[in-house]
Structure 1
Amino acid sequence: MHEEQEHTGFTDHTDHADDGDYPEHEDEPRRRSTTRRVVLVAVGGVFAALVGVGGYGAYNLVNAVSGGSSGDGGGDTAAAATPSPQQPPSTEQAEAVAKDFLSAWGRGDFTAAAGLTDRPEAARTALTAFHDGVPTTSLALTGTGPASSGTPSEPAVGFKVRAEFDGATEAWEYDNVLGVMRAADGRTLVRWAPSVVHPKFSAGRTIAVRPLPNPVSKPTDRKGRPLDSFPSLRGVLPQIAPADGAKVVTGQAVVLSGGGGPQDPEQLFVLTPPSAPQVTLTLDADLQQVAEEAVKQQSAGGKPASLVAVQPSTGQILAMAYAPQGGFNRAVGGGQAPGSTMKVVTSAALLEAGVSPDTVVPCKETTYSPRAWHNDEPGDFPAYTLADDFSRSCNTGFIDKGLEKLQPGTLATVARDQFGLGLQWHIGIPSRDATIPVPGSKDEAAAEYVGQGQIQVNSLLMASVAATVQSGTFRQPVLREDVKRVSATGKLPADVARDLRAMMAKTATQGTARTPMSGLSGQVGAKTGTAEAGSGQATNSWFIAYRNDLAVAAEVEGGGHGNSAAGVAAAQVLRAGGGKG
């Protein structure tokens, strides 16, 4: 008992007559007689006060004075008395001990606070650990009165905690409850439990201020809308790094850990929130949704597919979708032969070489390089012009005129200098550049003029080709505006751009692209592509087009003719987002 008094600060229970404590060590005659004298002197003046705070103190004090044994009424009477049954603490007693406990805790006297509990050592250890783990600049603990969670034998007192921290944006406040009990020696004590520190605190858990994990930047679209719900972007967004010089701020929080449940660790209060530099992408969430659906429809049955939409006036990438999702991003990282969509670049080279859209370029049923080449459309058409060959996608006409007018490497030069293909783009995420090698033979040259052979491109690159024709200027596509773009060393001549637009418009309204482009108003242009995939394999479907200030390229592996699978997907996006000039 003496050891407990030393921890709690209680040195003499006779000084606390209102608690009704019995004097200790009744076998010491000198102390016993002193105690008796104090009680006898005090009884007249204290009795009424004890009655006011509850009957037990008064009852116990009367018994201590008036006897209880059949002794001679001397100094042994109190020692011989039989203690009366314990009575529960009154509301006033509960609030009084709660006030003293909270006051000691709040001023950092954990020994005194713990001494007012039924488990001093456990309480002192927990309060000290809380103080060390949660370093506050101020801690205010205020009683709020009786709590409904109490029982008749153990009333409960509510209290409010307000903790302030250096650098925190606001104070941490929470409500809590402590129980009050009557100890065997008659004292009113706080029933200690870990939950006294915090309602969610329990044995085996810890509360401490911890740094929060570094935040992950969640890029938004051009209007600040979230993008993480789009399947094609789930693998893209983690590749978006903050701008150069931007700092990630690691926050701090009061964290409850050690429970082992689904919320372990659990944040109880954030002192300083983490922050990551906001990155705004050029994507448009509305158009991205349409692109996702278009690719999903055309990739049904397991056909890989992709689509990219670009704004010609700015070069901004507005949508990017591919299937299957969750893996390789074929929309910007793929490499395939583009089929007849490459005839846009071949036409630019021929126009610069002196061929006009009205120049007669016969479309033979078969031509040789010396390899034999055929067309999708059977028959000979000796009166076809270059514009006719373009709109009808005649392979033989382009091969013959290309072999006649162009030098080896010319196609690659025009593609690089005027369309920006092969210039090592930096769009904001890893992407693949075009491969257009210098042909080593006439067969290789013939293949390149119609988008076959060793040419490798993807939807991003071919969307840029369509955008360059529409605007007349190559603007390297970007996914974010803060990246450094490359510029083409040359410029598409104005008359060449004009003629290409006229040829693409004819294809969209009268040629192979007329079915998917049907009903689209405004400035429109398109080119279909059907790329050979190997003996016995279905051809790959390609389609590039623009409508006003929106250019699109789509490809579907094994999708057949360009005006079917890829054309349908591209037209869906143009219909949704290309209505404005």
Structure 2
Amino acid sequence: MHHDHAREEYEPYEDHGYDDHLVSADGHQEDRSRRRSRRIWLVAIGGVFTTLLVVGGYGAYNVMTAVTGGSTAGGGGADPTASKGPQTPPSAEQADAVAKDFLAAWGRGDLTVAAGLTDRPEAARMALTSFHDGVSARSLTLSGTGPAPAGTPAEPAVGYRVRAEFDGTTETWEYESTLGVVRASDGRVLVRWAPTVVHPKLGAGRTIAVKALPDPVSKPADRKGRSLEAFPSLRSVLPQIAPPDGAKVVTGQAVVLSGGGQEAEQLFVLTPPTAPQVKLTLDADLQQVAEEAVKQQSAGGKPASLVAIQPSTGNILAMAYAPQDGFNRAVGGGQPPGSTMKVITAAALLEAGVTPDAAAPCKETTNSPRSWHNDEGGNHLDYTLSDDFIHSCNTGFIDKGLEKLQLNTLTSVARDQFGLGLQWRIGIPSRDATIPVPGNKDEAAAEYIGQGQIQVNSLAMASVAATVQSGTFRQPVLREDAKRVTAPGKLPGDVAQGLRSMMARTATQGTARTPMSGLSGQIGAKTGTVEAGSSQATNSWFIAYRNDLAVAAEVEGGGHGNSAAGVAAAQVLKAGGKG
């Protein structure tokens, strides 16, 4: 009966849960025949239990378990820790030993073996497999760090450290956690399974896996590398900036904790997402001034815009507009520019042989046959072309234009010398100027003074001022790698000089003298006032330059050119055109 009793006590190992194999602490497996032969051998020698050390099993701490028996609970089986009477709590040495075996099996990928060392093998196997497949580390090193303060006498805890290395990066993910150790009802010492054994933040229904991060969004900077994100007028502009041609956008990866109805959390970034930074031609300091100038002149809900350009390069240094509803009227708008167009009309007349001091009487009214008048009444029959320019005389320009120019001349000069009407690619979507060939003298007369079917914006007219200042059309760009177009022709030197002299007189003696007052250096300006209808206030336009800075501004319903638009433009010139 003694031998039979020994067999009954050992028999439960036949139902260990691994089918025909017994799993030892070091991960080796023994088949059923070897186990059966050992059992028979034990029967033969009775109670010589010390020889069981050769069996291995879960280590020396579990020797008595192999003799006293007890089945291992599966995922849906009975809890092996369910009390069947008083149990001696695991010793610190036993806790450390089972933790060491568990971590070793987990680290080398023997997940079934590791799960078998817990009190809930199936739940542990599923969680460890999910972690293994989701994280997919090149190597996983787990090491015990000794007893953890979270333990109790009945359930000691062991701390451990996880170190994971990954392909494609030198970054190493490390974290620490703890596991509890219990003695099962059958006497075995096991890891108390909980999701936090995998990671201290892992909970029910949640998973840990390496996932791709959202594609990075390029955050363009100004020409000095400074952030532009604080400027209201650029909120709709910056997202339109694409990376340079051929630049590589790197989609990052991170270890992410997700699921369980909770917001995903990045536990560790393997590779941060990167996008090449684009430096725009904008200048943050000047942009700030432009934003404030437009804000002041658009008070009361008046739409407005301003663009500043560097004549020597064509680089756009500032752009601002209101309302800031996403539509960038500074580069996307289209409206008649009023008398600022007289810069191009004057260029056409100068090319046609009319000199700045040539007689060009300013009559109170004239006909084309449509009747035209000036902002100010009275006849000034002694005016020259330069006088007409600085006082913005409509009738003088209409009469001289109808006398000296062909119907298509203004369109040709605007395109060939000033680049207006060409397809510009500034780096973001923009609207090109439209200066159609007039169909009759009435339409031509309207275009000579910047009305009729002409459609431009602050970008186009700032370029006109820049072309006069430098003598050469340089297509405006927002980024230096933008593909520029060149004008078919070039502004003749004497024409450029004549325009500069007339714009300088306008800034010091003419309609632009008030806003330009106090500005030093090489200066020039031209005002524009556009009639928007008998019941509406006129639209204010102003173009000017100071040294290597050219500006155009417009304020819808802003009145005369030397008021709203002129004030805004002068603020920018004062801040940035010092040379």
Q: Fold conserved (TM > 0.5)? A: yes
Q: Identical aligned pairs, as a percentage?
A: 77
Q: Residue 175 of structure 1: SS of its match in structure 2?
A: strand
| Partner residue, 2:33 | none
**Letter of the aligned partner of 2:413 in structure 1?**
V
Distance in 2 (CA, whole Å) between partners of 1:3 and 1:131 is 30
| Partner residue, 1:529 | 528
Say whether residues 1:299 and 2:298 are aligned partners.
Answer: yes
**Letter of the aligned partner of 1:274 in structure 2?**
P
Distance in 1 (CA, whole Å) between partners of 2:293 and 2:261 is 44
Distance in 2 (CA, whole Å) between partners of 1:203 and 1:468 is 69
Cα deviation 1:139-185 (Å, max 9, x = unaligned): 11111223333345433322211111111132222222222233333
| Partner residue, 2:34 | none
| Partner residue, 1:156 | 157
Say whether residues 1:256 and 2:268 are aligned partners.
Answer: no
Stretch of structure 1 that moved more, 108-117 or 140-149 = 140-149
Distance 1:525 1:3, change over 3 A: farther
Cα deviation 1:515-560 (Å, max 9, x = unaligned): 2222222211111111111231111111111111111111111111
Instruction: Using the TM superposition, give the Cα deviation of residue 229 of structure 1 relative to its aligned residue in structure 2, in angstroms.
Output: 2.9
Within a 5 Å distance, the mapping from 1:224-239 to structure 2 comes to 224-239=225-240
Q: How many residues align?
A: 532
Q: Residue 223 of structure 2: SS of its match in structure 1?
A: coil
Conserved 8 A contact 2:213-2:253: yes
| Partner residue, 1:38 | 49
Cα deviation 1:181-237 (Å, max 9, x = unaligned): 333333332221112212222221222222333322222221222323322222222
Conserved 8 A contact 1:201-1:256: yes
| Partner residue, 1:325 | 324
Distance 1:438 1:514, change over 3 A: same
Distance in 2 (CA, whole Å) between partners of 1:355 and 1:30 is 125
Q: Residue 157 of structure 1: SS of its match in structure 2?
A: strand
Cα deviation 1:375-407 (Å, max 9, x = unaligned): 222222222222222122111211121112212
Instruction: Using the TM superposition, give the Cα deviation of residue 272 of structure 1 relative to its aligned residue in structure 2, in angstroms.
Output: 2.8
Conserved 8 A contact 2:540-2:556: yes
**Letter of the aligned partner of 2:495 in structure 1?**
V
| Partner residue, 1:116 | 117
Within a 5 Å distance, the mapping from 1:49-64 to structure 2 comes to none
Q: Given the two structures, how large is their TM-score scaled by the length of structure 1?
A: 0.85
Distance in 2 (CA, whole Å) between partners of 1:346 and 1:558 is 25
Q: Residue 533 of structure 1: SS of its match in structure 2?
A: coil
Distance in 2 (CA, whole Å) between partners of 1:574 and 1:506 is 17
Conserved 8 A contact 1:339-1:452: yes
Instruction: Using the TM superposition, give the Cα deviation of residue 84 of structure 1 relative to its aligned residue in structure 2, in angstroms.
Output: 6.3
Q: Residue 481 of structure 1: SS of its match in structure 2?
A: coil
Distance in 2 (CA, whole Å) between partners of 1:375 and 1:365 is 7
Instruction: Using the TM superposition, give the Cα deviation of residue 31 of structure 1 relative to its aligned residue in structure 2, in angstroms.
Output: 7.3
**Letter of the aligned partner of 1:431 in structure 2?**
S
Within a 5 Å distance, the mapping from 1:8-407 to structure 2 comes to 36-38=47-49, 85-261=86-262, 263-264=263-264, 266-407=265-406
Distance in 1 (CA, whole Å) between partners of 2:223 and 2:43 is 87
Say whether residues 1:491 and 2:483 are aligned partners.
Answer: no
Conserved 8 A contact 2:366-2:372: yes
Distance in 1 (CA, whole Å) between partners of 2:296 and 2:553 is 13
Distance in 2 (CA, whole Å) between partners of 1:553 and 1:270 is 47
Instruction: Using the TM superposition, give the Cα deviation of residue 98 of structure 1 relative to its aligned residue in structure 2, in angstroms.
Output: 1.7
Instruction: Using the TM superposition, give the Cα deviation of residue 33 of structure 1 relative to its aligned residue in structure 2, in angstroms.
Output: 10
Distance in 2 (CA, whole Å) between partners of 1:260 and 1:557 is 52
Instruction: Using the TM superposition, give the Cα deviation of residue 92 of structure 1 relative to its aligned residue in structure 2, in angstroms.
Output: 3.3
Structure 1: state its 5+ residue gaps: 14-27, 43-49, 65-81
| Partner residue, 1:5 | 16
Instruction: Using the TM superposition, give the Cα deviation of residue 252 of structure 1 relative to its aligned residue in structure 2, in angstroms.
Output: 2.7
**Letter of the aligned partner of 2:16 in structure 1?**
Q
Distance 1:497 1:93, change over 3 A: same
Conserved 8 A contact 2:158-2:178: yes
Q: Given the two structures, how large is their TM-score scaled by the length of structure 2?
A: 0.85
Conserved 8 A contact 2:204-2:260: no
| Partner residue, 2:509 | 510
Conserved 8 A contact 1:256-1:268: yes
Distance in 2 (CA, whole Å) between partners of 1:107 and 1:544 is 74
Conserved 8 A contact 1:367-1:400: yes
| Partner residue, 1:73 | none
Distance 1:152 1:417, change over 3 A: same
| Partner residue, 1:444 | 443
Conserved 8 A contact 2:341-2:449: yes
Instruction: Using the TM superposition, give the Cα deviation of residue 4 of structure 1 relative to its aligned residue in structure 2, in angstroms.
Output: 6.7
Q: Residue 419 of structure 1: SS of its match in structure 2?
A: coil
Distance in 2 (CA, whole Å) between partners of 1:156 and 1:505 is 86
**Letter of the aligned partner of 1:481 in structure 2?**
E
Conserved 8 A contact 1:332-1:431: yes
Distance in 2 (CA, whole Å) between partners of 1:308 and 1:274 is 34
Stretch of structure 1 that moved more, 446-455 or 429-438 = 429-438
Stretch of structure 1 that moved more, 332-341 or 288-297 = 288-297
| Partner residue, 2:36 | none
Distance in 2 (CA, whole Å) between partners of 1:471 and 1:260 is 63
Distance 1:503 1:153, change over 3 A: farther
**Letter of the aligned partner of 2:173 in structure 1?**
W
Conserved 8 A contact 1:232-1:326: no
Instruction: Using the TM superposition, give the Cα deviation of residue 37 of structure 1 relative to its aligned residue in structure 2, in angstroms.
Output: 4.6
Distance in 2 (CA, whole Å) between partners of 1:298 and 1:126 is 64
Conserved 8 A contact 2:23-2:113: no
Conserved 8 A contact 1:89-1:188: yes
Say whether residues 1:566 and 2:565 are aligned partners.
Answer: yes
Distance in 2 (CA, whole Å) between partners of 1:309 and 1:12 is 79
Instruction: Using the TM superposition, give the Cα deviation of residue 3 of structure 1 relative to its aligned residue in structure 2, in angstroms.
Output: 7.0
Distance in 2 (CA, whole Å) between partners of 1:438 and 1:464 is 21
Conserved 8 A contact 2:148-2:158: yes
Distance 1:6 1:337, change over 3 A: same
Distance 1:34 1:544, change over 3 A: farther
Distance in 2 (CA, whole Å) between partners of 1:413 and 1:554 is 25
Distance 1:190 1:363, change over 3 A: same
Within a 5 Å distance, the mapping from 1:548-567 to structure 2 comes to 548-567=547-566
Distance in 1 (CA, whole Å) between partners of 2:93 and 2:167 is 36
Conserved 8 A contact 2:369-2:442: yes
Instruction: Using the TM superposition, give the Cα deviation of residue 447 of structure 1 relative to its aligned residue in structure 2, in angstroms.
Output: 0.8
Instruction: Using the TM superposition, give the Cα deviation of residue 90 of structure 1 relative to its aligned residue in structure 2, in angstroms.
Output: 3.7
Conserved 8 A contact 1:89-1:155: yes
Q: Residue 387 of structure 1: SS of its match in structure 2?
A: helix
Distance 1:299 1:245, change over 3 A: same
Distance 1:132 1:350, change over 3 A: same
Conserved 8 A contact 1:97-1:116: yes
Instruction: Using the TM superposition, give the Cα deviation of residue 461 of structure 1 relative to its aligned residue in structure 2, in angstroms.
Output: 0.4
Distance in 2 (CA, whole Å) between partners of 1:218 and 1:117 is 50
Distance in 2 (CA, whole Å) between partners of 1:518 and 1:348 is 25
Instruction: Using the TM superposition, give the Cα deviation of residue 10 of structure 1 relative to its aligned residue in structure 2, in angstroms.
Output: 6.8
Q: Residue 355 of structure 2: SS of its match in structure 1?
A: coil
Distance in 2 (CA, whole Å) between partners of 1:284 and 1:89 is 70
Structure 2: state its 5+ residue gaps: 1-11, 26-38, 53-59, 69-82
Distance in 1 (CA, whole Å) between partners of 2:160 and 2:569 is 65
Distance 1:83 1:240, change over 3 A: closer
Conserved 8 A contact 1:231-1:326: no
